[in-house]
Amino acid sequence: MKKRMLGKGFAAVVCAAGICAFAGTALAQEDVALPLDEAGAEAIALEDAGVQQADTTRLRSTREREDGEDVVEVEFSYGDNSYEYMLRESDGMILEWSIEGRAVGEATAELTLIDDGAAAPTDAQKSDATGEAQTEADPSAEGQTEAGLPVVKTTADGTELIGYEEAVRIALEDSGIAEADAELAKIKFEYDGRFYDYELELRAGRAEYEYKIDAQTGEIVEVEND
């Protein structure tokens, strides 16, 4: 096993100009009362995953105490995937979510967020002195805006993160695995009290990669590969 610890210094993607002090994934819904009960937490988790309750199996929720906060944990299965969510009881903030199974690449998440911004351009995408773009954008690329820049997902309180689709793109680019050859076995978003990260498991043939990517900046924090 090879392992790289890259810390928080190298940025693969930068945030949009402005707010980058991330405050979690918060959702205020008129039909969900606060503090959350189990039913309210399930409603938010299912909406975030784009899943109808009638289509789930093994749906259950429990109240827990995590790092000094009251939270509600929601678990369910949909298709070939298992989902887990942890939401803060006081305001409905999604502190963690994960998807694991045989069809993770076909799953969705973060649908409670708003795609209304774009990250700052890379050097290759910046305009030259004449104002002409140096590279042509591919508007069909997943996780890209029509300008070819990575989408920034904005939470209800105005904070930003790169989005899990961009985290997958960063991992694929770093590993050198073509998207057509990659199997996404697991993806997880987590807030640990200080940092907000995506954790990914990629497989291609006999090769396995595990990535931790900063959800605010796109920095690759840690890589393991077998």
User: What is the torsional sign of CA 210, 215, 218, 219?
Assistant: negative
Q: Please tell me whether residues 8 and 118 are part of one structural domain.
A: yes
Q: Please tell me whether residues 104 and 191 are part of one structural domain.
A: no
The CATH number that applies at residue 106 is: 3.10.450
Q: Please tell me whether residues 68 and 134 are part of one structural domain.
A: no
Q: Please tell me whether residues 11 and 54 are part of one structural domain.
A: no
Taking a C-beta distance cutoff of 8 angstroms, is the pair 204, 197 a contact?
A: no
Burial of 48 (0-12, 13-18, 19+ CB in 10 A): buried
Q: In which order are the strands placed within the sheet that holds 114-118?
A: 114-118, 151-154, 160-161
Q: Which helix (H) or strand (E) holds 169?
A: helix 164-175
Taking a C-beta distance cutoff of 8 angstroms, is the pair 119, 101 a contact?
A: no
Residues 178, 131: Cα–Cα separation, whole Å: 32
For residue 7, the cross-strand partners are none
Q: Please tell me whether residues 78 and 137 are part of one structural domain.
A: no
Q: Please tell me whether residues 17 and 119 are part of one structural domain.
A: yes
Q: What is the pLDDT of residue 221?
A: 97
The CATH number that applies at residue 211 is: 3.10.450.40
As given in the structure block, the two tokens for residue 123 are 């050097």
**Closest CA relative to residue 222, chosen from 181, 179, 178, 190:** 190
Looking up tokens 């959702």 gives 27
Host domain of residue 32 = 24-113
Q: Please tell me whether residues 55 and 164 are part of one structural domain.
A: no
Q: Please tell me whether residues 8 and 64 are part of one structural domain.
A: no
Length of the chain: 226
Residues 219, 5: Cα–Cα separation, whole Å: 11
Q: Please tell me whether residues 182 and 197 are part of one structural domain.
A: yes
CA 226 to centroid of chain Cα atoms: 24
Q: Please tell me whether residues 119 and 85 are part of one structural domain.
A: no
pTM of the model: 0.77
Question: Structural domain tally of the chain?
Answer: 2
Looking up tokens 């029509």 gives 146
Consecutive sets of 10 residues in the chain, 226 residues long: mean pLDDT of each?
Answer: 47 32 44 93 98 98 95 98 97 94 96 67 41 43 54 75 96 95 96 88 95 96 94
Q: Please tell me whether residues 181 and 108 are part of one structural domain.
A: no
Taking a C-beta distance cutoff of 8 angstroms, is the pair 168, 131 a contact?
A: no
Q: Is 166 helix (H, G, I), strand (E, B) or coil?
A: helix
Q: Please tell me whether residues 194 and 171 are part of one structural domain.
A: yes
Q: What is the pLDDT of residue 137?
A: 41
Q: Which helix (H) or strand (E) holds 47?
A: helix 38-49
Taking a C-beta distance cutoff of 8 angstroms, is the pair 188, 145 a contact?
A: no
Residues 129, 214: Cα–Cα separation, whole Å: 32
